[in-house]
Amino acid sequence: MHITLAQAQHALQLHANNNTITPEAVKLLLGNASVTFAQIEYVTRVQVAAAHKAENIQKVTQANVILCSNIAAHTSVYANRVRKTAAGIAGNTPEAIAAFTPQASYFQHTEVHSIVQHKEHVDKFYLYVIYNRAVSAYVHNNRIVTLKEVAQFLTPSAQRDLFNADGIVRNISQGINHRVVVRTIALSNIVSVKARKQLLTV
């Protein structure tokens, strides 16, 4: 599965119209379902090194994700997945796996758990998702470019992150490695959400 140039261009056109899916629309989409599987598409601008600040590289991502309307559902889904994947990675102790708990961050959850709000900038909302799988395409000068082409515009640390392909999430503070990816995606970057036989788009 991959994203074609036509698909990427369509996502970029939607993103450029500056419309945003609202928290209220996501809340209505999720309804009373505790756990929902969804397809999302979003656009982010790649942070390039200062020497290349004139370059505009955009990343288009299509992802299958889990959304949760309440914290009980999220905690059980997320923590159970972390513990399950951690059990298969050498070096994790049973004690660290059993003690794992989700940590706080720069955002706070709203009444719908998968809609989060920045603690300091209360007008900024994000979709808090657990990834199942995702594909991305990088667009530069109106063409899809390879990771190697993208890397030449990045800082050394960003290059390492770009090529981190082992899929392991390293939680240093809790001494555990796992394979569960959680993202907070700005609603302003999301161009579509498809779930429960409904489609939200900008």
Helix (H) or strand (E) holding 99: helix 94-99
pLDDT in single tens digits along all 202 residues of the chain:
799 999 999 999 999 998 999 999 999 998 878 889 999 999 999 999 999 999 999 999 999 999 988 877 777 788 889 999 999 999 999 999 998 887 767 888 888 889 999 999 989 999 999 999 999 999 999 999 999 999 999 999 899 888 876 678 888 888 899 999 889 999 999 999 999 999 999 9
- CA neighbor of 62 nearest in space, from 28, 80, 94, 38: 38
Return d(Cα 170, Cα 168) in angstroms, integer. Answer: 6
Helix (H, G, I), strand (E, B) or coil at 165: coil
